[in-house]
Amino acid sequence: MTHIAVIGGGAAGAAVFGALLCKHDEAVVHWITGRSTTGRGVAYATDDDHHLLNVRASGMGLYADQDEDFVQHASRDHANVRGTDFLPRRLFGDFIEAQVRKRISSAEQRGRRFAVHPVEALRIDPQVDGYDIFLADGTCLHIDAVVLAVGALSPRPLRTVSASALASGAYELDPWNLPQRTRAPRRLIVIGTGLTAVDTLLSASTRWPDAELVAVSRHGQLPFVHPVLPIQPFPAQASLNASLLDCDGAAPMLRKIRSALRDAPDIDWRSLIDGMRPINATLWQNLTHAKRRQFLHHARWIWEASRHRVAPRSAETIQQLRDEGRLQVNAARVLGVDGQGPLDVTVRTRSNQVLTTLQADLVVQATGLDTAVAFTEHTLLSQLIDDGLVVADPLQLGLSACPDGRLLNARGDVQRGLYAIGSLLRGNLWECTAMPEIRTAAHTLASTLIADRSQAEATATVVA
Ligand SMILES: Cc1cc2nc3c(=O)[nH]c(=O)nc-3n(C[C@H](O)[C@H](O)[C@H](O)COP(=O)(O)OP(=O)(O)OC[C@H]3O[C@@H](n4cnc5c(N)ncnc54)[C@H](O)[C@@H]3O)c2cc1C
């Protein structure tokens, strides 16, 4: 009997587990979920209804062949839900849990064998015929194939933060876990201005209505906003995409995009960026290592702000906070964070290079996804790297992998039976963390796993 394990209890793990349960196959599926609420992971475990999806409800879903629409599901308990809305992320978490429950009950009715293990996987040891996975509750599972769906890594402190600041209790590394404080902070500094920073600012502004909020990042660029209603596709997208695929590097791509916008002044630039979605992975794969590095250094900040936009309601609240003088957004480099609380945050302003030290009762690091596996303290990933079963992407964007999720080992070969999905694949796919990409990848990966298993069994029979 073949056993397949999916490690990670977030949305990506849920999507692969559900896709595998649906397959007409004999393999036993194990879902090792860690400590998180099953299927919600980091993004959809929030209970703050100011935290909105950044994709319209009609674009969200868990399975490529889904049993029920998210909009339909949300409409059952909430009146006037439209597919064009940006709904609270909590509702999508509820949807994931309901969809997983459905697949589990249908699998039970069909007598399909599976197990959910609500503990962490600590280590994976290769065996002649598969892997042994050791779980935190002492169980050892013998498995033929393993999918790593462990999401982004726990944030590491910026190098510029002193040990005393880290120990002070006034520096928060986890932006989803604002500390409970007896006294509200007078000033709170958020390091970062991306989507995570926006959520942190929204939460902080309601929890501490009198606090002065400051957000700092090198470019001080907040995410751009989605249009309230969907926009028309760019009519010349197909020819633009074809010409982008011929470009050698991000700079000529940017010139082509600018020129397309000059030629079509009535077009909303956001439709053009959205229309690149089907080719983003290929554009990234076409770049050489040096060109990828250049992109990350010079263009990543503007790409992220343009591509991963914020819901209109969140943008309005942020603008209101700025208009009321409660929020300042600074383009500056953080040179140091020191003290024992309150903390001194020293920054160099981008426009005039002037050094300033701001004092804050609370500093929150919200610098986005960490994918630098070579430096991680994640028990399982560091063991896999130390044992040479996987290898870090050279630009620290997850693990080295094939586009279909097969992982490469330290020798550069495909490591038979080891796969990944989600942010660990950024080095190969670049855009692979949003639900539209994750559900397609999960669907394809489930088929790949079953096909690889059948092939391995056929080979074993021939050898025998
Ligand atoms: C704040 C936020 C908002 C987002 N909003 C949107 C949105 O609106 N629309 C959209 O399409 N995308 C959004 N995204 C993208 C999001 O990353 C994906 O939608 C999805 O949630 C990623 O899920 P994941 O399972 O890969 O990772 P995670 O959610 O991080 O889940 C990984 C899980 O694996 C578990 N785990 C880790 N190690 C182990 C181990 N050794 N053993 C067992 N379990 C382990 C962790 O505890 C965690 O629960 C958002 C992301 C974030 C962070």
Query: pLDDT for 303-350, tens place per residue?
Result: 999 999 999 999 999 999 999 999 999 999 999 999 998 999 999 999
pLDDT value of residue 179: 85
- Domain extent, residue 99, equals 3-154+370-463
Q: Are residues 435 and 375 in the same domain?
A: yes
Using CA atoms, how far apart are residues 400 and 289, in angstroms rounded to an integer?
13
By most ligand atoms within 8 Å of CB, the mutation choice from 42, 200, 432, 439 for ligand 1 is: 42
Model confidence over 94-153: pLDDT tens digits? 999 999 999 999 999 999 999 999 999 999 999 999 999 999 999 999 999 999 999 989
Supply the residue whose CA is at minimum distance from atom 12 of ligand 1: 434
Q: Would you say the CB of residue 382 lies under 6 angstroms from ligand 1?
A: no
pLDDT value of residue 341: 86
Q: Are residues 217 and 313 in the same domain?
A: yes
Nearest CA to 272 out of 262, 260, 254 is that of 260
The answer to whether residue 25 scores a pLDDT higher than 80 is no
Using CA atoms, how far apart are residues 256 and 254, in angstroms rounded to an integer?
5
With a pLDDT cut of 70, the percent of the chain lying above it is 98
How many angstroms is it from 202 CA to the middle of ligand 1?
20
Q: Are residues 376 and 278 in the same domain?
A: no
How many angstroms is it from 427 CA to the middle of ligand 1?
17
Assigned domain for 230 exists: no
How many angstroms is it from 414 CA to the middle of ligand 1?
25
Q: Are residues 453 and 337 in the same domain?
A: no
How many angstroms is it from 243 CA to the middle of ligand 1?
34
Could you tell me the CATH number of the domain that includes residue 346?
3.50.50.60
Q: Are residues 346 and 199 in the same domain?
A: yes
Classify strands 171-172 and 145-148 as parallel, antiparallel or unpaired: unpaired
Q: Are residues 273 and 246 in the same domain?
A: yes
User: What single letter denotes the amino acid at residue 289?
Assistant: H
How many angstroms is it from 162 CA to the middle of ligand 1?
29
Query: What integer is the mean pLDDT of 88-93?
Result: 96
CB 212, CB 188: distance < 8 Å: yes
Supply the residue whose CA is at minimum distance from atom 31 of ligand 1: 10
Using CA atoms, how far apart are residues 289 and 291, in angstroms rounded to an integer?
6
Residue 342: asked if its preceding bond is cis (omega within 30°), the reply is yes
How many angstroms is it from 259 CA to the middle of ligand 1?
37
Q: Would you say the CB of residue 175 lies under 6 angstroms from ligand 1?
A: no
Assigned domain for 253 exists: yes
Assigned domain for 287 exists: yes
Q: Which residue, 348, 365, 382, sits at the end of a domain?
A: 365
Supply the residue whose CA is at minimum distance from atom 4 of ligand 1: 43
With a pLDDT cut of 90, the percent of the chain lying above it is 88
Residues 6 or more apart whose CB falls under 8 angstroms from that of 253 comprise 244, 247, 283
Using CA atoms, how far apart are residues 312 and 317, in angstroms rounded to an integer?
9
- Going by the DSSP 8-state scheme, the letter that residue 308 receives in this structure is S
Ramachandran quadrant class, 84 (left: phi over 0; alpha: psi -120 to 50; beta: rest): alpha
The answer to whether residue 411 scores a pLDDT higher than 90 is yes
Using CA atoms, how far apart are residues 237 and 174, in angstroms rounded to an integer?
39
Q: Are residues 14 and 119 in the same domain?
A: yes
The answer to whether residue 457 scores a pLDDT higher than 80 is no
Assigned domain for 334 exists: yes
Assigned domain for 232 exists: no
Supply the residue whose CA is at minimum distance from atom 15 of ligand 1: 434
Residues 6 or more apart whose CB falls under 8 angstroms from that of 88 comprise 49, 50, 51, 52, 53
Q: How many domains does the chain have?
A: 3
- Lookup result for tokens 């796993």: 449
How many angstroms is it from 43 CA to the middle of ligand 1?
6
Torsion of Cα atoms, 455 then 456 then 457 then 459, to 10°: 90
pLDDT value of residue 24: 75
Query: What integer is the mean pLDDT of 217-234?
Result: 96
Q: Would you say the CB of residue 42 lies under 6 angstroms from ligand 1?
A: yes
How many angstroms is it from 282 CA to the middle of ligand 1?
23
Task: pLDDT band for 26, please (50, 70, 90 cuts).
Answer: confident
pLDDT value of residue 458: 67
In sequence order, what E strands does 33-76 have? none
Supply the residue whose CA is at minimum distance from atom 14 of ligand 1: 434
Model confidence over 114-128: pLDDT tens digits? 999 999 999 999 999
Q: Would you say the CB of residue 311 lies under 6 angstroms from ligand 1?
A: no
Q: Are residues 284 and 394 in the same domain?
A: no
Task: pLDDT band for 368, please (50, 70, 90 cuts).
Answer: confident
How many angstroms is it from 92 CA to the middle of ligand 1?
13
Q: What are phi and psi of 177, to 5 degrees?
A: -135, 65
Q: Are residues 386 and 247 in the same domain?
A: no
- Lookup result for tokens 């700025």: 322
The answer to whether residue 394 scores a pLDDT higher than 90 is yes
b/e for 200-220, b at 16 or more Cβ within 10 A?
A: bbbbbbeebeebbbbbbbbeb
How many angstroms is it from 317 CA to the middle of ligand 1?
25
3-state DSSP assignment of residue 240: helix
Q: Are residues 148 and 248 in the same domain?
A: no
Supply the residue whose CA is at minimum distance from atom 1 of ligand 1: 43
Task: pLDDT band for 461, please (50, 70, 90 cuts).
Answer: low
Q: Are residues 433 and 404 in the same domain?
A: yes
The answer to whether residue 245 scores a pLDDT higher than 60 is yes
Q: Would you say the CB of residue 150 lies under 6 angstroms from ligand 1?
A: yes
Complete DSSP assignment for 142-189? EESEEEE---SBPPPPPTTB-HHHHHTS-EES-TTSPPP-SS--SEEE
Q: Are residues 7 and 138 in the same domain?
A: yes
Assigned domain for 231 exists: no
Using CA atoms, how far apart are residues 81 and 216, in angstroms rounded to an integer?
35
Q: Would you say the CB of residue 339 lies under 6 angstroms from ligand 1?
A: no
Assigned domain for 133 exists: yes
By most ligand atoms within 8 Å of CB, the mutation choice from 85, 120, 435 for ligand 1 is: 435
Count other C-beta atoms under 10 Å from residue 368's C-beta.
Answer: 18
What six digits make up the tokens of 13? 């793990």
Assigned domain for 436 exists: yes
Q: Would you say the CB of residue 408 lies under 6 angstroms from ligand 1?
A: no
- Lookup result for tokens 């039976």: 417
Using CA atoms, how far apart are residues 43 and 176, in angstroms rounded to an integer?
9
The least confident of 6-15, 90-99, 242-251, 452-461 is: 452-461
